[in-house]
Amino acid sequence: MAQTEKYVLNMGPQHPSTHGVLQVQVELDGENIVGAKPVMGYLHRGIEKLMESRTYVQCVPFTDRLDYVSAMNNNLGFCMAVEKLAGIEVPERAEYIRVICAELNRIASHHVFIGSLTNDLGSATGMIYAFRDREKILDLFNIICGARMTAHYIRIGGVAADAQDEFLRDTQKFIDYVPEMLDEYNKLFSGNEIFQARMKKTSIITKEMALKFGMSGPNIRASGVDYDIRKIDKYGAYGKFDFDVPLGKRGDNWDRYMIRMKEIAESAKIIQQALDNMPEGPYMAKVPKVLRPPKGDAYHRVENTRGELGFYIVSDGSTKPYRVHIRRPSFVNLQALDTMCKGMLLADAVTAFATIDPLMGEVDC
């Protein structure tokens, strides 16, 4: 009589489709997945602890290295939390520049998502196209702050430097190119039959499950929950712009992919409005050289590319934060991996992992 037993397969920490250093212990019954257990901590750098020994201004570069493909969004979250704590008013022009940079970075991050997803599904061509267009955004960042990835451009009280005419002109050029770009992507892979067959009706997360897991960002919106911090909190200048929040229906891999494609178009819409109504004025508020926020605590959350990114800062009245806690969306979203993989085939685990889109820098912090 044939005997079968379950066995454990280790994926990672060195694996091309884990996007960094995550180890997933996949329990298999033949080729069917029974359970998937993520093992984290391979990139734990102790950023929260390090921040306690730095001044508030010195903390900002660490946020670049949390979610390294959308550094501007992280800068924005931390700086707004400190501004809330210290009661700093940010000039309007700075708010607009911040929105432009954050949305550009959102598009750049979705490029990495598309690139790595298509690469994981076996089409290396997709990555080449996505990275080609990502370079265009990195060029814009290069103009405005001289760095490609870890920008450190958004500072406490405003931005590091004013947006030059060259930057605004080139951003306009890029925004004009976005519809053409999306059209090309749709022709290239969205319409591909194999791509659709691997994405549709796999790794479904229902509305209830997504809420229970505390997911956020495109992942929860793909399940049909209308939850976007930009709409709810209207932080910064986001209240002034008109944009839609794309929602999915089924909550499968395909929805999670399509949501991000639609978000690129929405981000472009926001940037266009910001460019059209760009106010004149200072780009930096008057911030004291040695920043000593009053005693107390503050929590501020922003819509990062991957979901709800929150910074909780406790101040004891000195120049350094007493405690910083970071609510990382990738870390929370990763909980769903086990549920998503159960009952799927081993090859689908890679797709599920790519569509949750976690970033190890943020998961391990």
Partner 1 sequence: MEIVDIVPPELKNNVIVTSVDALFKWGKSNSIWPLSSGLACCSIEMMCAAASRFDLARFGYEVFRSCPRQSDLLIVAGTLTWKMTPPLIRLYEEMPEPKYVIAMGNCNIGGGPFADSYSVVTGLDKIMPVDVYLPGCPPRPEALIDAMLKLKKLIRHPELGRDAADAKALSRANLELMTRPVRNVEERAE
| Residues within the interface to partner 1 (CB under 8 A) | 13-16, 20-21, 41-47, 49-50, 53-55, 58, 61-62, 65, 68-69, 112, 115, 127-129, 131-132, 134-135, 138, 148-150, 290, 318-319, 360-361
Smallest separation (angstroms) from partner 1 to the CB of 359: 10
Other C-beta atoms lying within 10 Å of the C-beta of residue 193: 7
Q: What residues are paired with 323 via a beta bridge? A: 314
Closest distance between partner 1 and the C-beta of residue 256, in Å?
21
Q: Nearer to partner 1 by C-beta: 94 or 359?
A: 359
3-state secondary structure at position 297: strand
Indicate the residue among 49 and 201 with the shorter CB distance to partner 1: 49
Do the Cβ atoms of 43 and 330 come closer than 8 Å? no
> Toward partner 1, which CB reaches closer, 71 or 270?
71
For the bound state, the minimum distance from the C-beta of residue 350 to partner 1, rounded and expressed in Å, comes to 12
Cα pseudo-dihedral 53, 56, 62, 64, rounded to 10? 180
Residue 114 CB, shortest distance to partner 1, in Å, is 12
Dihedral over Cα of 270, 275, 279, 283: its sign: positive
Dihedral angle sign, alpha carbons of residues 29, 30, 36, 39: positive
- The alpha carbon of 349 is separated from its chain's Cα centroid by a whole number of angstroms, namely 21
Nearer to partner 1, 236 or 361 (CB): 361
| Shortest distance (Å) from residue 343 CB to partner 1 | 27
At CA 62, angle to CA 57 and CA 68, rounded to 5? 135
**Residue with smaller CB distance to partner 1, 61 or 214:** 61
